[in-house]
Amino acid sequence: MTTHSELAEEGAIQIVIIKTTGDKILSQPLADIGGKGLFTKEIDEALINGEIDIAVHSMKDVPTYLPDGTILPCNLQREDVRDAFISLSAASLAELPAGSTVGTASLRRKSQILHRYPSLNVLDNFRGNVQTRLRKLNEGVVQATLLALAGLRRLNMTENVSSILSIDEMLPAVAQGAIGIACRSNDDKMANYIASLNHDETRLAVACERAFLETLDGSCRTPIAGYACQDKDGYCIFRGLVASPDGTRVLETSRKGPYALEDMILMGKDAGKELLFAGRSRIF
């Protein structure tokens, strides 16, 4: 609206809230009902059918392929990528007594927790919105949970955070903390509008991470983590991880190179190929 004055006029923008299958079916693990596309499918269909003009997604939920007829040229400036630890009885994972149960819907989190703290139990179908998960925590269903700090900050619910996990302790999900905006590939008007919102440093980092995920053919059944960022000298630092769901086998790699789109996509693909080859017999 600041950049395009015509959008500041009353009624120029209408926000349409679309509930996706992933939001509605909370009783089963994502992998059992079709994977991550469940959080984007209905929104993509509305975009393709012309019911909406732009689609706003959490990039963590966007499959590595886009539906025909759509493009995703815009990423907003990234939020904090780290995971938050929430517990009523402990300040960190390390403080949880042996046998404590941690709730999460993420195999990525489960595998990294069990790799470092094998004495803990992980309830891995701990789904629902933030409020639902906090209620289950208060009811004693679990002793702790992990949530993306980005989501808690956007909901103004950081008062619930016991501590924040470092990148070394919990490598984030690919594109965690990033918002993407899509439009139809033949809609130059909308592409021009959303271009004014694009944060290129974020867009390049997300492209690097998604190239890594795509090379691994990542699904909700394989714990995968990846994070690209710019160091103080302007280079891209990428870290990637794949693991077995029980955390007994974890493979990690890293890359450093120019902070430029083609170089970063190649870095992500190369890191993915390395872990794909290394994990053939042990993970995949």
Answer yes or no: are the C-beta atoms of 73 and 195 closer than 8 Å. Answer: yes
Least Cα distance to 80 among 22, 147, 145 occurs for 147
Q: Is 61 a catalytic residue?
A: yes
Amino acid at 47: L
Return the DSSP state at 129. Answer: -
- CB within 8 Å of 111: residues ≥ 6 apart: 223, 243, 244, 245, 246, 247, 250
Instruction: Kindly give the pairing relationship between strand 121-123 and strand 179-184.
Output: unpaired
Count of CB atoms situated within 10 Å of the CB of 105: 20
Which secondary structure element, helix H or strand E, spans residue 73, and what is its range? strand 70-75
Query: CA-CA distance, 189 to 7, in Å (whole number)?
Result: 12
Catalytic residue among 23, 44, 53, 61: 61
Catalogue the E-assigned strands of 150-249.
163-164, 179-184, 224-230, 235-243
**Which residues are catalytic, by number?**
61
